[in-house]
Amino acid sequence: MSDSASYDPNADTVIYAVSEGIATITMDRPGYHNAQNGKMTYELDAAFRRAVADDEVKVIVLAGNGKHFSAGHDIGTPGRDVHLSQERAGMWYDHANKPGGEFLYVREAEAYLGMCRRWREIPKPTIAAVQGACIAGGLMLAWVCDLIVATDDAFFSDPVVRMGIPGVEYFAHPFEMPPRIAKEFLFTGDKMSAERAYQVGMVNRLSTRETLHDDVKALAAKIATQPRLGLALTKQAVNHVEDLQGKRTGMDAAFAWHHFSHAHNDLVTGDKLSGFDAKKMAKHNRAGDKS
């Protein structure tokens, strides 16, 4: 784990590469387990835009450099930048100078719910290549992708109920797994193994650390032989059916409940995350594992 002394706030957080019609977007904060700060969020958005605009790109892969895919939103590294203004990608105003509940509501409507929805609607197939941890905000990044390939040692969890919050901002849980399993996943905050995630249909294919890159590349190459518009329309059709089933409207309601809990936490504890940072979350999750 890097420390604040060696932290470079200007370092790129995302690597972009194109080869044989496949764009690979790699989160690159391995020293912080690819914790997603604002800088990374906007660099991911720029990379997705670049891949969409490039006619040579047929399929987009989202990967994480290092031991873990993503430890989630940045709630504790020296690069945590939730307080900073960003060059916004959606139609929200700046959050940084806003009071009370408005600060985080505007920020998360823009950078989490808004951004994730846009990424889900990218008109090209996307594949998440997941190894190690895929926690909370990390789930959102994997879930916006059309397909997920995970290593056998990957795991998924959303422990934010510990903060009194009903799941991460992009509330796709009851669509990613059966509702009863989603409740167990959230109520316990337990890690779901890649094998279990495969069984419930969240993960398309299992791989290993050694084969992940090649397996994802082979899958992407196969999809890349299909016609561009056929892929775009197919994706729209499936996403549309999910929205008819309530995915979009369900998420709108969950986002409001999510922000009621942020505001409640602030009123009761003086902190929107109920006093939890990355360290405290990890400590509680470890204790929970033992019980």
Q: Write out the residues near Zn ion by the rule CB under 5 A.
A: 108
Q: At its nearest, how many Å lie between Zn ion and the CB of residue 163?
A: 9
User: Which one, 43 or 108, has the nearer CB to Zn ion?
Assistant: 108
Which residue, 227 or 270, is less far from Zn ion as judged by CB?
270
Structure tokens at 249: 């409207």
What's the closest the beta carbon of residue 281 comes to Zn ion, in angstroms? 14
Report the candidate in 145, 153, 122 with the shortest Cα–Cα distance to residue 61: 145
DSSP one-letter code for 162: G
Element (H, E) at 194: helix 194-199
Query: Other CB atoms closer than 10 Å to residue 240's CB: what's the count?
Result: 12
What is the spatial distance between Cα 154 and Cα 140, in angstroms, rounded to a whole number? 15
CB of 169 to Zn ion, least distance (A): 5
Measured from the CB atom, is 127 or 142 closer to Zn ion? 142
Query: Least CB distance from residue 108 to Zn ion, whole Å?
Result: 5
Residue 124 or residue 170: which is nearer to Zn ion going by CB?
Answer: 170
Q: Which is nearer to Zn ion, 109 or 200 (CB)?
A: 109
Specify whether the CB–CB gap between 160 and 167 falls below 8 A.
yes
How far apart, in Å, are the Cα atoms of 188 and each of 135, 183, 184, 198, 284? 14, 8, 6, 19, 12
Q: How far apart are CA 267 and CA 264, in angstroms?
A: 5
In the complex, least distance from residue 101 CB atom to Zn ion, rounded to whole angstroms = 11
What is the smallest separation between the CB atom of 144 and Zn ion, expressed in angstroms?
16
- Shortest Å distance, C-beta 158 to Zn ion: 12
Q: Are 119 and 144 in contact (CB under 8 A)?
A: yes
Residue 205 or residue 264: which is nearer to Zn ion going by CB?
Answer: 264
Q: Where are the alpha helices (DSSP H) in 54-99?
A: none
Of 33 and 258, nearer to Zn ion (C-beta) is 258
Residue 201, phi then psi, degrees to nearest 5: 90, 10
- Strand order through the sheet with 147-151: 14-19, 22-27, 59-64, 126-130, 147-151, 205-207
Token digits of residue 181: 């399993």
- Closer residue to Zn ion in complex, CB, 107/217: 107
Q: How far is the CB of 37 from Zn ion (least distance, A)?
A: 14
Contact 153, 131 (CB under 8 A): yes
173: CB partners within 8 A, 6+ apart: 158, 167, 182, 185, 186
